[in-house]
Amino acid sequence: MKIGVLVNEGPFTHQASDTAYHFVKAAIEKGHDVLRVFFYYDGVNNANKLSEPQADDRNLVKLWGDLAKEHNLDLVVCIAAALRRGIKDEILAEGFRISGLGQLIEVGIAADRTVMFGD
């Protein structure tokens, strides 16, 4: 199955980002094709390499980047939402790229299912 994923919440405010990460990881392990993960609204904070969680906390920014590297996963950050939150190319974490809403529309058309995490 071809899957698109939309993440609307940041890594430290709600469970949605954690759930999205575990969903994507499980889908890949089950052999599904995750076409793209699109980060929108506060979800763009998942791509901020300047975030530094405590040593005993999970680091979702790194986890997403590692997953992308390991599985050639396309992690796209909405440019408008990112700029509103001060996220530019120079503070974008490894594995993420900035693009427009067209990337969300494109994956919605190409995927069999698009799953949204967060409001």
Catalytic residues: 78
Please name the amino acid found at residue 27: A
Tell me if 117 sits within 8 A of 8, measured CB to CB: yes
Which token pair is 91? 């503070």
DSSP bridge pairs for 36: 4
Strands of 17-112 (E only): list them.
33-39, 75-78, 96-99
Which token pair is 30? 């089950």
